[in-house]
Amino acid sequence: MGSIDRVVKGLSDVELEKAFHEVKDYRFENENVLVDGVVRSTIRRIEEVMGKIGDPHIVINSILYEIASRKYES
């Protein structure tokens, strides 16, 4: 498991719910402006380990996958 997946799996259900709403706002309401919240802090934690992540969608995809996994694999 890569560093991105490890960090995302460590997020609580509450953090994932907040991240979902941040992503929804980012994609549909705030014209691709990502607020300083759970997603950005997750990106910063991952960058501390892996270095700069050029595309935030890499982390966003991992977060959305984790949300779906917890819902459908439980």
Answer whether 6's CB lies under 8 Å from 26's CB: no
Query: What pLDDT was estimated at residue 41?
Result: 97
What are the DSSP calls for 51-69, one per residue? ---S-THHHHHHHHHHHHH
Cα angle 43, 39, 29 (rounded to 5 degrees) comes to: 135
Range 55-68 burial, b when 16+ CB lie within 10 A, else e: ebeebbebbbebbe
Q: What is the pLDDT of residues 3-35, one digit of tens each?
A: 999 999 999 999 999 999 999 999 998 778 899
